[in-house]
Amino acid sequence: MTDERVLLATLSLCKNSCDGSLLGIIAPHGRFSAMYTFVSVLICVCVLGSGPWRDCQHVLDSGETTSGIYLIRPANTNRLLQAWCEQSHEQGGWTVIQRRQDGSVNFFRTWEQYKQGFGNLNGEYWLGLEHLYWLSKQSKYKLRVALEDWQGRQVFAEYDSFHLEPESDWYRLRLGQYQGNAGDSFSWHNNKAFTTLDRDKDSYTGNCAHYQKGGWWYHMCAHSNLNGVWYRGGHYRSRFQDGVYWAEFHGGSYSLKKVSMMIKPT
């Protein structure tokens, strides 16, 4: 079967499995698109409801109470995006902007990839800096970071405001006040620009992204590194502290099992 016929056949199967709510398909390497050739395995992306909505709180307010993938279009832009809406956690309405859970997606990526987003919406993914900018521009949002260690202990850190500056200011992070039981390992990164392996905007003499193996709002370098290397088992040995860590919760040499970042209007 030719690659084009594989693509068409997969689209047909996806439409059936999605019960008519097919948004697109993605290749296993995890870009959000339906335009692929020369691949033999594709993954269905099904969306719930009609949409588009401004964010996941808008989804919830419209009566959609099921967690899953929804079509989002922030106010004042024609930019459409797909996002996982978490409707069962803390009263729902959370737009998940990042998730780590099994190491299936490589987060050591370029600026353009972090800008546009990558991964699998049903698993590990990064929503995209440009999407985050437009989302956080339309209203006042709070950020919740959910963390789980390898013993099953779950903690959280919440910040009462969260938004990003535009790309012209390197998607600089703006955070509000902390509360939670995870400890505050993110405020140290407040007001910092985003850094990737090919765009160094941190305060260190070298490129923190190369040492920490991810993209983040690095300083000199990190008290948190949620886009780092997902190591199995918790404690890890590496030349640099490059795991998925939150320094106030087990320190920098402990890679967490599960992490998610989500935002919601205040």
Tell whether the model's pLDDT for residue 126 goes beyond 90: yes
Residues in the chain: 266
DSSP 8-state secondary structure symbol assigned to residue 39: -
Paired residues of 199 in beta bridges: 196
Q: Label residue 231 by pLDDT band (50, 70, 90).
A: very high
pLDDT digit string, tens, across residues 171-186: 999 999 999 999 999 9
Q: Label residue 12 by pLDDT band (50, 70, 90).
A: low
9-18, 135-144, 198-207, 239-248: least confidently modelled range: 9-18
Residue-level pLDDT at 48 = 73
Tell whether the model's pLDDT for residue 19 goes beyond 60: no
Residue-level pLDDT at 10 = 47
Q: Label residue 29 by pLDDT band (50, 70, 90).
A: very low
Tell whether the model's pLDDT for residue 7 goes beyond 50: no
What is the C-alpha to C-alpha distance for residues 182 and 179, in angstroms, rounded to an integer?
Answer: 9
Predicted TM-score (pTM) of this structure: 0.84
Q: Which phi and psi angles does 91 have, rounded to 5°?
A: 70, 5
Give 2-31 as a 3 state SS string: CHHHHHHHHHHHHHHHCCCCEEEEECCCCC
Tell whether the model's pLDDT for residue 108 goes beyond 60: yes
- Give me the percent of the chain exceeding a pLDDT of 70: 82
Q: Label residue 28 by pLDDT band (50, 70, 90).
A: very low
pLDDT digit string, tens, across residues 45-70: 566 767 799 999 999 999 999 999 99
Tell whether the model's pLDDT for residue 37 goes beyond 50: no
Q: Which phi and psi angles does 114 have, rounded to 5°?
A: -70, -30
Domains of the chain: 1-46 (no CATH), 49-266 (3.90.215.10)
Q: Label residue 14 by pLDDT band (50, 70, 90).
A: low
What is the C-alpha to C-alpha distance for residues 127 and 114, in angstroms, rounded to an integer?
Answer: 8
Residue-level pLDDT at 89 = 86
What is the chain's alpha carbon radius of gyration, rounded to the nearest angstrom? 18
Q: Which phi and psi angles does 167 have, rounded to 5°?
A: -60, -30
Average pLDDT over residues 201-225: 97
Residue-level pLDDT at 118 = 98
Paired residues of 263 in beta bridges: 95, 143
Q: Where are the alpha helices (DSSP H) in the chain?
A: 3-17, 56-61, 111-116, 129-137, 208-212
Tell whether the model's pLDDT for residue 213 goes beyond 70: yes
